[in-house]
Structure 1
Amino acid sequence: MSATYPLFDNAAGKALDQHATTALGGDGYLLMQRAGQAAWQCLLQHWPQARRLVVVCGPGNNGGDGYVLARLARRAGRQVTVVHLQAHSPRSGLAQRACTDYLGVGGQVEWFQHELPDADVVVDALFGIGLDRAPDAASSRLIDAINSQPAPVLALDVPSGVDAQRGSVATVAVVASCTLQFIGQHIGLRTGAALEYGGALAFDDLDVPVQVFAQVAAQATLLEPEFISRCLLARRRNTHKGESGRVVCVGGGHGTAGAVVLAAEAALRSGAGLVAVATRERHLPAILARRPEIMAHGIESGDDLPPLLATADCIALGPGLGQGEWASGLHALTMASGKPLVLDADALNLLAKRPAPLVDAILTPHPGEAARLLDSDTSSIQRDRFAAAQALVERFQSVIVLKGAGTIIAAPGQLPRVINAGNPGMAVGGMGDLLTGVIAALRGQGLAAFEAASAGALIHSLAADEAAAKEGERGLLPSDLLPWLRYWVNH
């Protein structure tokens, strides 16, 4: 199994279609028939007992794919009704041909009025990637009708209303049970709001010749679990703790020592050889009682911190840090240390007050922190997460881990990466502190910053999935992930 998969934006998706058509002799209808056949097979795989099908077709080639599916289903003895808006008669030559062939086997077409006919499965072949704006009023009513009926929904290529490039939804979109993508996988379906709409994501390359994919550049890569073993090589038999990375975690102001402890524990469970914590003096007894493997240092004066930082292979700065005078002093000293850094939480908030390009740093903002770093707002960040990640890269010249559903890792001169793991149970305080510790441990063990951020985010999300699989997502705690971090760094 591959460790990564290419993801394409809309322009690249259209280029793939054009090159594929050329490679198949210039007959676009052949490609459309393959798409319709793949969709029909996908429907049979998921709902083999379905007898009544409603196929909602749009005016373009996505609608043409739907007409092909409808024809095949009717020839297989299914009860099929194609529904479209009065204004959505087929417009493209290929869609017109597919509609004619469907009608030629006795197929029926109905104009949408108020609700859809009863069905065992509804097929969304309305817009695909052709829609780059909010659906109009009539289309919105049709999408609402798809969502309000009880049958499962198979979306062809993209759930209608979802921006396949940005992953955002302007107003309304089809909530699919399954989405079958054709030829290339869409970059926008793997992050942000789109994850609420796509359901189970499936893919069919339609047997397009492999040389087609060499002609079109991907815009991101999707990371799978196999990526971890590519990054974390087996250790020497004669290794020692100093070779496994020295991590210093700086943070834990009054009342927030738990955050820096979580980061330190995550670093230990992710293979760091030595982990130290720089925090308030009063926190030392509790830290040592919880985890004696942590080397805890009480830092009340700035004079005490530089000698500790000098020992580090990587510094994790921010968990529980705060933004007061003590925090600002530690922040300034750490930023000036010249060491590889992983910045999270209040380290990012302090950076936002005085933004500047950094040297050898990994920033791990959630959307709210990203908004502060870019003088923006959270909704703008979420509207186009890839653009936000790239803006952060350009502003800080650093590796960026934009957290959230479909975490994005971006870096100067690198193709962005997307994490194909994680679950809603991770939406709880402390999860980001854990991620900071994981990434710092991998960076301290010698991984390059982009690799450490990518592997760390993937390990963190996979550990969360394992922990949630045992007891459920609701009530998942960051500390529940610790045993699974150890599992995945050894997997």
Structure 2
Amino acid sequence: MHALLPTPEEMARWDKAAVALGIRPEILMENASREAMHVLCGLVGDLVGRGVLLLAGPGNNGGDAIALARHLHCAGAKVLLAHVKPLSAYKGEAGYNARLARKLGLAAELVTERNLASKALSWELSRPCVVVDGLLGTGFSGQLSPFFLELVETVNRLGRNALVLALDAPTGLSAHTGRPNPTAVRADATVTFEAAKIGLAQPFAAPFTGWLHVRPIGIPPEVKDAHPASAALLGPETLGLLPRPSPEGHKGSYGHVLVLGGSYGLTGAPVLTALGALRGGAGLATVGCPSGLSLHLKAGQPDIMTLPLGKGGEWNAGFLDELLPHVGHFNALVVGPGLGRTEGARDFLRGLLAASSLPPLVLDADALYWLAQEETPPRLPENAVLTPHPREAGRLLGLDAATVQADRPAAIRALVERTGAMCVLKGAGTLVAAPGQPIHLCPVDAPALSVGGSGDVLAGLLGALLAQGLSCFKAARLAVWLHASAGLHLAENFPNRGCTATEIAAALPHAMKEQPCAPRKTS
């Protein structure tokens, strides 16, 4: 079961549905604050007599901080609660906790734009051992106002000498995208409630979240089932999708992958793709290429077969007459690595995609370039998988790569809507999405994979899993996880990068080693 990654709006629906079920919102806030207390005690130990500064924002995130202040007070900590609006102005469950704080006489002070500078100075002089960020949480969107920007900068200064704990999300960090705007609290740890929000699970959010603790607050599973999250987290359980080898298997039992690519100056890409397919478990791998390039591709690669097409070294639509009668002999196609950007390559791709009854196919690299040049996106086969990196995704969407990276979940949703196909958006925090399915996020950050040819290996690995009978959605999730795991394996020997794509392919079997397997698909 993959961990759920709701958006902030989906989490709000869970809260609302739980309350409608009869769970009082005060109970949910009490549970959240107690979980935060447990995490904090685990991080710093005994809090008796130690100074804790809690910053409470105007909403329920502030309410969580106020409730936590009460628990800390009861544990003997020297609490100072800094709130951005009068305690009497808090409403609902936050107001309930504010009234309790006042009755207990907790040390509290109102922080405004006028007095922030002097308050910040006094906080720095008091040198608290813990600073709790309960300012905005997952409700933050847009850009920080000058007041909250100054508060964030104050917290980060205090964090040089104190542990910073963020409640639900560091202030200034988008729980949708994992990006700060323009900056965010840099927490040592974040307690997020019930489920990690999709932005917090992105690897590039880690410098702001610190250690991410996901803690339950009592949302029943029936509520989550009735209001499904739109994303989930890939984890080691993904390896359960690995096809199980048969004791009577032979090379034909594990699929034959055909890679269509290669052009002058780009003969290495399809070879790396074929290596990825073989290391991913395919029984056979063939590169289909212009006949004039077949010897270049074959040289030094005894494990890879070639299918020479036509005459000369340039792709053209005439190759289809030779290819299509035999394409049914293959179990998966990978199209695009090194295909080139000649008009002949474009015409070949158009003709191929117009053909009927193609096996499952992966569209990568130059195939994606040519798709982006079409005024009207062609109708892709249902068994097609697109594997763009951010620049390729941008071309398909008419955006630049920076815009794609600014909101990767939104970008992959737009890709699926535009193409109607399954998509893998590569990069740190690779995303997998398909029509009618939740987005799946790979949280692994593996710098070893940042090398030319890495994506070719991934495309071949995906082709191998398709050739072995996995559905597109299962194959894509498993391929992404194995590719990332191979990167982590390589980091042991290449701690500062320096590996090659060939070594990424060679590491794939290690990523599968001694892992649970699923029964082999027979249909």
Fold similarity call, TM over 0.5: yes
Change (3 A) 1:140 1:89: farther
Q: Give CA deviations for 1:249-290 in whole Å, capped at 9, x if unaligned.
A: 222323332322221111111100100123466765665454
Aligned pairs for 1:241-260 (under 5 A) are 241-260=251-270
Partner of 1:96: 95
Separation of aligned partners in 2, 1:441 and 1:89: 63
Change (3 A) 1:221 1:182: same
Partner of 2:222: 211
Partner of 2:52: 53
Instruction: Give SS of 2:176's match.
Output: coil
Change (3 A) 1:208 1:283: same
Partner of 2:371: 351
One of 332, 339, 343 as aligned partner of 1:314: 332
Partner of 1:386: 409
Shift of 1:163: 2.2
Separation of aligned partners in 1, 2:334 and 2:299: 22
Separation of aligned partners in 2, 1:52 and 1:288: 69
Separation of aligned partners in 1, 2:164 and 2:447: 23
Change (3 A) 1:297 1:327: same
Change (3 A) 1:439 1:124: same
Partner of 1:39: 36
Instruction: Give SS of 1:296's match.
Output: strand
Change (3 A) 1:415 1:431: same
Partner of 1:133: 142
Partner of 2:518: none
Shift of 1:245: 1.0
Separation of aligned partners in 2, 1:120 and 1:479: 49
Separation of aligned partners in 2, 1:409 and 1:469: 26
Separation of aligned partners in 2, 1:328 and 1:87: 65
Moved more, 145-154 or 348-357: 145-154
One of 17, 20, 28 as aligned partner of 1:19: 17
Partner of 1:189: 200
Aligned: 1:28 with 2:50: no
Separation of aligned partners in 1, 2:419 and 2:139: 34
Shift of 1:396: 1.4
Change (3 A) 1:67 1:237: same
Output the amino acid matched with 1:382. Answer: Q
Preserved contact between residue 314 and residue 443 of structure 1 (Cα < 8 Å): yes
Aligned pairs for 1:267-306 (under 5 A) are 267-279=277-289, 287-288=297-298, 290-299=300-309, 300=313, 302=316, 306=322
Preserved contact between residue 189 and residue 213 of structure 2 (Cα < 8 Å): yes
Output the amino acid matched with 1:351. Answer: L
Instruction: Give SS of 1:80's match.
Output: strand
Preserved contact between residue 164 and residue 187 of structure 1 (Cα < 8 Å): yes
Aligned: 1:63 with 2:74: no
Change (3 A) 1:319 1:87: farther
Q: Give CA deviations for 1:30-49 in whole Å, capped at 9, x if unaligned.
A: 22111111001111222326
Partner of 2:459: 436
Output the amino acid matched with 1:319. Answer: P
Change (3 A) 1:46 1:192: closer
Shift of 1:352: 0.4
Separation of aligned partners in 1, 2:103 and 2:447: 47
Partner of 1:123: 132
Aligned: 1:365 with 2:378: no
- Identity fraction in percent: 35
One of 3, 6, 14 as aligned partner of 1:5: 3
Separation of aligned partners in 2, 1:98 and 1:479: 59
Change (3 A) 1:424 1:160: farther
Name the count of aligned residue pairs.
487
Preserved contact between residue 221 and residue 417 of structure 1 (Cα < 8 Å): yes
Aligned pairs for 1:221-260 (under 5 A) are 221-229=232-240, 231-260=241-270
Q: Give CA deviations for 1:89-130 in whole Å, capped at 9, x if unaligned.
A: 853232233234334444322434245432333221111122
Instruction: Give SS of 2:209's match.
Output: coil
Change (3 A) 1:199 1:478: farther
Separation of aligned partners in 2, 1:12 and 1:86: 27
Aligned: 1:82 with 2:104: no
Moved more, 140-149 or 296-305: 296-305
Aligned pairs for 1:319-358 (under 5 A) are 319-325=337-343, 327-337=345-355, 338-354=358-374, 355-358=377-380
Preserved contact between residue 74 and residue 105 of structure 1 (Cα < 8 Å): no
One of 129, 138, 152 as aligned partner of 1:143: 152
Q: Give CA deviations for 1:172-229 in whole Å, capped at 9, x if unaligned.
A: 2222222211123312323375454322222111233333323322112212111221
Separation of aligned partners in 2, 1:98 and 1:188: 28
Separation of aligned partners in 2, 1:292 and 1:391: 41
Separation of aligned partners in 2, 1:468 and 1:476: 9
Calculate the aligned-residue CA RMSD, in Å. 2.6
Q: Give CA deviations for 1:374-407 in whole Å, capped at 9, x if unaligned.
A: 1122233233322221221122111111112222
Preserved contact between residue 175 and residue 198 of structure 2 (Cα < 8 Å): yes
Preserved contact between residue 87 and residue 99 of structure 2 (Cα < 8 Å): no
Aligned pairs for 1:154-165 (under 5 A) are 154-165=165-176
Output the amino acid matched with 1:164. Answer: A
Preserved contact between residue 317 and residue 334 of structure 1 (Cα < 8 Å): no
Normalising by structure 2, what TM-score?
0.85
Q: Which has the larger radius of gyration?
A: 2
Preserved contact between residue 294 and residue 308 of structure 2 (Cα < 8 Å): yes
Separation of aligned partners in 2, 1:191 and 1:130: 18
Separation of aligned partners in 2, 1:43 and 1:71: 14
Name structure 2 gaps, 5 residues minimum: 516-523
Preserved contact between residue 56 and residue 62 of structure 2 (Cα < 8 Å): yes
Normalising by structure 1, what TM-score?
0.90
Separation of aligned partners in 2, 1:5 and 1:328: 41
Instruction: Give SS of 1:95's match.
Output: helix
Change (3 A) 1:415 1:317: same
Q: Give CA deviations for 1:6-33 in whole Å, capped at 9, x if unaligned.
A: 221222211211233344x453222211
Separation of aligned partners in 2, 1:90 and 1:466: 54
Preserved contact between residue 448 and residue 494 of structure 2 (Cα < 8 Å): no
Change (3 A) 1:54 1:481: farther
Shift of 1:443: 0.8
